[in-house]
Structure 1
Amino acid sequence: MAKVNVCLKRSFLIVISLIAILCALMLALTLFTHGHLYNNEEMDKLLPGLQILYSLTILTLILAIIAMYGACKEKKWALIMFAVGMIIGTLFWIVNDIQGLAQRPKVVEQLTMHFRPVLSWNDTSEINENLKNVQINFQCCGLDHGYLDWGYNIPESCLCTENPTNPCVAAPRNSSLFEHNIDDQPIMIYKESCLPYTIAHIMMIMDATLGIILGIILLWTLSVVLCILILCRLSKKDDVPVVVYSSEAKAGNYTALEDTAEHI
Structure 2
Amino acid sequence: MQPTTVIVVADKTSLKRPFIFLNAVNMALCFFMLAVTVSSHRYLLGGTKVRLSLSGLVCLYILGFGCLLLSVLGVCGACKEKRWCLILFAVGMAAASQTMLVKTALTYQPIYEAEVVDRESSLRESALKMPLGENSLVNRTLLEHMQAYYKCCGLVEGYKDWGSSIPASCLCEYPERRCVRLRGNFTVGAQKKQLIYQEPCLPLYMASVKRAFSIAIGFKFGSAMFWVVLLVLSIKLMVQIKRKKEFLALLQTHKYCVPGTS
- TM-score if structure 2 supplies the norm length? 0.75
Q: Would you say 1:175 and 2:167 are equivalent positions?
A: no
Paired position in structure 1 for 2:145: 133
Question: What is the rounded CA distance, in whole Å, between the counterparts of 1:83 and 1:40 in structure 2?
Answer: 38
Question: What is the rounded CA distance, in whole Å, between the counterparts of 1:235 and 1:152 in structure 2?
Answer: 79
Paired position in structure 2 for 1:220: 227
> Identity over aligned residues, as a percent?
28
Question: What is the rounded CA distance, in whole Å, between the counterparts of 2:39 and 2:122 in structure 1?
Answer: 27
Equivalences for residues 98-247 of structure 1 within 5 A:
98=105, 108-119=116-127, 120=129, 121=132, 122=134, 124-171=136-183, 173-176=184-187, 186-236=193-243, 237-238=246-247, 242=255
Pair 1:93–1:165, CA change in 2 (3 A): farther
Structure 2 portions without partners, runs of 5+: 1-8
Q: Which moved more, 1:49-58 or 1:208-217?
A: 208-217
Instruction: Return the match for 1:60 from 44, 61, 67.
Output: 67
1:139/1:165 contact within 8 Å kept:
no
Question: What is the rounded CA distance, in whole Å, between the counterparts of 1:28 and 1:37 in structure 2?
Answer: 12
Alpha-carbon deviations, 1:137-162, whole Å to 9, x = none?
21211112222221222212222232
Q: Which moved more, 1:121-130 or 1:52-61?
A: 121-130
Whose RCO is larger (CA < 8 A, sep 6+)? 1
1:15/1:219 contact within 8 Å kept:
no
Q: CA deviation at 1:108?
A: 4.9
Paired position in structure 1 for 2:14: 7
Letter in 2 for 1:176: T
Paired position in structure 2 for 1:261: none
2:166/2:189 contact within 8 Å kept:
no
Question: What is the rounded CA distance, in whole Å, between the counterparts of 1:39 and 1:111 in structure 2?
Answer: 17
Q: CA RMSD, aligned part only?
A: 3.3
Pair 1:4–1:21, CA change in 2 (3 A): farther
Alpha-carbon deviations, 1:1-37, whole Å to 9, x = none?
x997343111111111221232233324434554x44
Letter in 2 for 1:7: S
Question: What is the rounded CA distance, in whole Å, between the counterparts of 1:89 and 1:194 in structure 2?
Answer: 39
Question: What is the rounded CA distance, in whole Å, between the counterparts of 1:32 and 1:21 in structure 2?
Answer: 17
Paired position in structure 2 for 1:262: none
Structure 1 portions without partners, runs of 5+: 250-264
Pick the structure with greater CA Rg. 1
Alpha-carbon deviations, 1:87-139, whole Å to 9, x = none?
12112333355457767986654332121222224355111111011112212
Paired position in structure 2 for 1:22: 29
1:4/1:234 contact within 8 Å kept:
no
1:139/1:164 contact within 8 Å kept:
no
Question: What is the rounded CA distance, in whole Å, between the counterparts of 1:48 and 1:221 in structure 2?
Answer: 24
2:70/2:89 contact within 8 Å kept:
yes
- TM-score if structure 1 supplies the norm length? 0.75
Question: What is the rounded CA distance, in whole Å, between the counterparts of 1:38 and 1:215 in structure 2?
Answer: 24
* 3-state DSSP of counterpart to 2:15: helix
Letter in 2 for 1:26: M
